Every structure is written in structure tokens, then in C-alpha cells.
């Protein structure tokens, strides 16, 4: 295949930051995607409908002239979230989900939930109004190995949560393990997003020739057997799995230091990365559904009608993109790719 035309996709897990950084990175997403679920982990986080409305206005103001893009907003769940805020969020029509971070799990997660059971009143309200819960599915207990945090979260927290709220729609985000795949397949009202890095790489890439900080993300890359399980899920055609880049922009100097930030930047070339992953298992015919249909169907939104086209050609990923004072290094910077959006 030398040319691939699909319905324009959406990104169901995206970080665009704020201020000057927002204006820098948003055009990369807008070039490929019609809509995106926007993560709320700013400083301070997006905790109310008023916060979400203000952030949404700033995103809309940063959309390049002549381009169409819809930010789909989320609220940041805390121990103190009021169930009334969920009712207001549903009524707003622009807030599409609530995001759960375990306290301290990842970038700007300091305001996250300390005990998931503290939020049961919120989950009850979400179940009643049909507001999806998006989960960063890891425990942060220091005694749990970093490669086991997703598995332990599912066993310790997610299975009990699902039993307490069987009708609550959930998205287990950026899944990385065969354990997550099995849970999603078995559970009703549960879907999952999958990133390009978890399709393309296993944990060996983190140490290839030395420490590779631009491949460091959370949840961390796992072993090859888990990558294969996630790749099989993404390319299976099952509507429970859909595209979510978790593209996370950090400046070069915040990644390349003694305590670097977690996150891979893929917004620049996300669809080309996904195409490469799907082609690796002869599943390009499944890419459109994964990227363009399963997500809107889960969120009960209309599918897009525009199209994008990718062609088979060799090109080189830039070493960096302009970003604050030290540049932004995209995933696989400097390497060649074989698909290119026109």
C-alpha cells in the first residue's frame, strides 16, 4: 500500500499545557485531529466547570487561523470534588469526562486522589448523569515495583470500583500490559486508550546505548510480551480500544537532567507513528476504526466527516521543535519514518 486515506481522527488523551507553550504545540495536533480530550493537570489544575470554560477559551484562541478544532474538556478529580460539580459539568456540554490521578503518580498530579474510596459520592453522581471516568491506572505505593503498578491498580482498586459502580463508564488510559487488556475485554462499560509509544517500543529502548530520557513516560514502557498484547488489542478491531496519544510536551532541559519529567511528545507525527505500528502487523485496514470511529462512539459523539491522507515515503523526524528556551524533542527525533501525512 502506497497511500492511505481515512476519516479524520480524534485524540482521546492529550496534553497541550497553557500560555506560550499551548500556542507552540497546539498546531501540531490541529493538523491531524478534529477533536481532543484535553487533560486537566495544569498548575493549578482544572477542578471546576468555570476553570474548564476559561481553559477552553484559551485553547480556542490558540487554534491557527482557518483551522477547525474542538477541545473536549475534563475536570481534575480530587479528594474534595463536590458531586454538584459533576451535575454542572454534564449540563455544560463541553466537559466530557472527569480525570482520576493517584496523588503523585505523574506530572502535576500533586492534587490527585489519596484514596479512591473517598470519591464514591462523586462516582455515584457520574454514574447517574453518564459522565465517563478517565483513569491513570497506577498505584504509587513505593513497595510496588514500577513495572507492576498498572497490574496492582487493576487488582486492588479498579476491580472493586467496577463492582461498586457497574454502570459507570470508564476509560483506562494509556494501557501498557496484558493485564489491562484482559480487564478491559472482560468488563462492561470500560474502554481503553493506547499511545504510539506503547505500541512501538518495549522497555529496552529506555537503555539503548545509555539512558534515553525522551522515551521515559508514565506508565513506563513494559516488556515485549506486554507490548505485543497491547498491539494485538489496538489492531484487533475491537471497539473498546481507541487512539489516545498522551502526547506530553516538556522542554529538552526538563527531560535531559538528573530528575527528568515523564512524557513522550508525539503530537508532531502521531498518525505516522500509529500507521507504522499497524503496518508492522499487517493491520492498516484496522487503523481507521481505531483512530476515527471507536472513540466518538464511546463518547456518544458523531463521527467526523473530513478525511486525511498519508503516503508511503521516507522522511526524517526533526531533531527538535521550537519550544521555550531549550526546544522540544519529538518521539524518535532524528530517525526516519515511512508514512507521511500530506
CATH number reported for the structural domain that contains residue 138 in this entry: 3.20.20.140
CA angle 46, 50, 52 (to 5 degrees): 40
Q: How many residues does the chain have?
A: 342
Cis status, amide bond into 44, omega within 30 of 0: yes
Q: Are 179 and 211 in contact (CB under 8 A)?
A: no
- CA atoms of 58 and 72, how far apart (whole Å): 13
The one catalytic residue in 10, 51, 179, 246 is 246
- Which mean pLDDT values do the consecutive 10-residue runs of the chain (342 residues) have? 96 97 96 98 96 98 97 97 98 98 72 93 98 97 96 98 98 98 98 98 97 97 98 98 98 94 97 98 98 98 98 97 87 98 96
Which segments of the chain are extended strands (E)? 3-7, 11-14, 35-38, 70-76, 95-100, 133-135, 170-172, 190-194, 241-243, 307-316, 336-341
> Does a structural domain hold residue 77?
yes
Decide if 204 is inside a domain. Answer: yes
* Known catalytic residue at 57: no
Residues sharing a CB contact under 8 Å with residue 133, sequence separation 6 or more, in sequence order:
77, 97, 98, 100, 123, 126, 168, 169, 170, 171
Q: Is position 100 within any domain? A: yes
pTM score: 0.97
In a domain, 285, yes or no: yes
**Residue at 104 is within a domain:** yes
Edge to edge, the sheet with strand 70-76 lists: 11-14, 35-38, 70-76, 95-100, 133-135, 170-172, 190-194, 241-243
pLDDT value of residue 108: 62
Between CA 289 and CA 233 the distance in angstroms is: 13
Answer whether residue 300 is part of any domain: yes
What is the Cα–Cα distance from 33 to 312, expressed in whole angstroms? 20
Query: How many domains does the structure of the chain reveal?
Result: 1
Peptide bond into 93 cis (omega under 30): no
User: How far is residue 247's CA from residue 237's CA, in Å, rounded to a whole number?
Assistant: 23
**How far is Cα of residue 342 from the mean position of the Cα atoms in its chain?**
24
Residue 284 counted as domain residue: yes
Is 262 within a domain?
Answer: yes
Q: Which domain holds residue 39?
A: 10-306
Amino acid at each position: 500500500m502506497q497511500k492511505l486515506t481515512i476519516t479524520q481522527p480524534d485524540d482521546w488523551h492529550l496534553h497541550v499545557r497553557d500560555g506560550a507553550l499551548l500556542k507552540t504545540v497546539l498546531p501540531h495536533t490541529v493538523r491531524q485531529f478534529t477533536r481532543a480530550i484535553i487533560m486537566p493537570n495544569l498548575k493549578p489544575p482544572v477542578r471546576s466547570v468555570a476553570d474548564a470554560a476559561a481553559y477552553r477559551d484559551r485553547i480556542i484562541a490558540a487554534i491557527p487561523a482557518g483551522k477547525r478544532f474542538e477541545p473536549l474538556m475534563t475536570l481534575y478529580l480530587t479528594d474534595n470534588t463536590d458531586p454538584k460539580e459533576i451535575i454542572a459539568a454534564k449540563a455544560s456540554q463541553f466537559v466530557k469526562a472527569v480525570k482520576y490521578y493517584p496523588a503523585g503518580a505523574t506530572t502535576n498530579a500533586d492534587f490527585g486522589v489519596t484514596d479512591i474510596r473517598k470519591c464514591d459520592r462523586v462516582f455515584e453522581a457520574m454514574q447517574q448523569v453518564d459522565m465517563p471516568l478517565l483513569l491513570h491506572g497506577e498505584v504509587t505505593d513505593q513497595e510496588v515495583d514500577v513495572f507492576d503498578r498498572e497490574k496492582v491498580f487493576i487488582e486492588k482498586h479498579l476491580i472493586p470500583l467496577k463492582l461498586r459502580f457497574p454502570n459507570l463508564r470508564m476509560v483506562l488510559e494509556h494501557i501498557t500490559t496484558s493485564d489491562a487488556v484482559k480487564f478491559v475485554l472482560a468488563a462492561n462499560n470500560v474502554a481503553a486508550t493506547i499511545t504510539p509509544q506503547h505500541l512501538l517500543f518495549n522497555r529496552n529502548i529506555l537503555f539503548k546505548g545509555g539512558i534515553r530520557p525522551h522515551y521515559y513516560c508514565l506508565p513506563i514502557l513494559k516488556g515485549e510480551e506486554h507490548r505485543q498484547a497491547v498491539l494485538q488489542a489496538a489492531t484487533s478491531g475491537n471497539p473498546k480500544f481507541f487512539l489516545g496519544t498522551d502526547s506530553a510536551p516538556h522542554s529538552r532541559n526538563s527531560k535531559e537532567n538528573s530528575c527528568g519529567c515523564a512524557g513522550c511528545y508525539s503530537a508532531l507525527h502521531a498518525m505516522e507513528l500509529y500507521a507504522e505500528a499497524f503496518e508492522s502487523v499487517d493491520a492498516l485496514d484496522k487503523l481507521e476504526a481505531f483512530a476515527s470511529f471507536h472513540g466518538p462512539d464511546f463518547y456518544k459523539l458523531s463521527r467526523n466527516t473530513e478525511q486525511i491522507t498519508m503516503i508511503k515515503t521516507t522522511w526524517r523526524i526533526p531533531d527538535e521543535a521550537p519550544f521555550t528556551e531549550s526546544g522540544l524533542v519529538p518521539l524518535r527525533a532524528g530517525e526516519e519514518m515511512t508514512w507521511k501525512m500530506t
